[in-house]
Amino acid sequence: MINTITKPVSAAAAGTWRLGDLTVNRIGFGAMRLPQTGRALVPDAVPRDRDQAIAVLRRAVELGVNHVDTAAFYFSPLRSANELINAALAPYPDDLVIATKVGPARDASGRWASWATTAQELRGQVEENLRQLGRDHLDLVNLRVNGPGPIAERFAALAELRQAGLIRHLGLSSVGPDQLAEARAIAPVVCVQNPYGIGAPARQDRMLDLCGEQGIAFVPFFAIAGQGREAGPQGTEAEQIDGIARAHQATPAQVRLAWSLQRGPHVLAIPGTGDPGHLEDNIAAGALRLTEADLAVLDDLHRSTAS
């Protein structure tokens, strides 16, 4: 029987996963697109209407989202994702988990400036996230990694901040198996955030499976955008995805999200948007159950288009 969606849908429809001792719904919200319209993380981004951004955040929580992904480097002229989250959601609900990232840095003009490589620089980024969010500790901090190579010194610096009570849980972003193993030898890792979706390289399938074997959440980013990355989805949709979307009375983006979620119970989704309608569509994807035949078609597409 073909499953169709009737909105609005609660984020709880996707099921739950535990990030350490914190339980989250598997459909969350990514804040990267919130501060601007169009392409994210560029100096000349067009700021989004503040009231609209705040309304989207509040609606997300109303619909059961309790996992919000952000970073201090998510900003445009006039708008900061962290400060929008603070304005919209503080005082924060007890069950809300806010995950942030450290590593990359942008200067005041919005240009990429450097990467934090010392304990002092990483602490400074953690403290900036604390200030912007209005928190005395961060629920989850992901170390964003810039390519292959050792990460022990940087991860150990974050582990010290965890011991000091500034961070509750640690994760990683854009890593491979060796870096995950290196980090786990220092402190518990509760999640890995890597780019993933239909057409992702085979090495990301291996990371997804490895995280499942170790009980670690795998959190794809760009699950909808694919190669469009910060610019969002590009061009026409694959015929196979369009056909499955029509059969379920769903959107292609919902099919992509549902496929990612059905890769394993440890897979979380953090689709981002500043549009209220897209927000409801994204959350509703957690209720979409693709058939075995759908999954076979999408798996074939995934393998044939792997970058």
Q: Dump the DSSP string for 65-109.
A: --EEE--TT-EETTEEHHHHHHHHHPSPPTT-EEEEEESEEE-TT
Query: What is the Cα–Cα distance from 240 to 259, expressed in whole angstroms?
Result: 13
Active-site residue (options: 17, 29, 73, 74): 74
Cα 231 from chain centroid?
16
Query: In this predicted model, what pLDDT tens digit does every residue of 177-221 receive, in sequence order?
Result: 999 999 999 999 999 999 999 999 999 999 999 999 999 999 999
Residue 290 and residue 108: Cα distance in Å, rounded?
44
Question: Given a cut of 60, is residue 97 above it in pLDDT?
Answer: yes
Share of the chain above pLDDT 90, in %: 91
**For 33-83, what is each residue's pLDDT tens digit?**
999 999 999 999 999 999 999 999 999 999 999 999 999 999 999 999 999
Please tell me which residue, 211 or 5, carries the higher pLDDT value: 211
CA dist., res. 14 & res. 258, Å (int): 9
pLDDT at 235 over 70: no
Kindly tell me if the per-residue pLDDT of 101 is higher than 70.
Answer: yes
The DSSP string of 223-277 is TTTGGGGGG---SPPPHHHHHHHHHHT--HHHHHHHHHHTT-TTB-B----S-HH
Fold of the domain built from segment(s) 24-304: TIM Barrel (3.20.20)
- At 10, which amino acid appears? S
Q: Say which residues have a Cβ less than 8 Å from residue 42's Cβ, sequence separation at least 6.
A: 110, 230
Residue 225: what pLDDT?
58
Q: So where are the chain's domains?
A: 24-304
pLDDT at 231: 43
Q: Is 196 tagged catalytic?
A: no
Rounded CA-CA distance 86/80 in Å is 10
- Summarize the confidence of residues 269-293 as an average pLDDT: 96
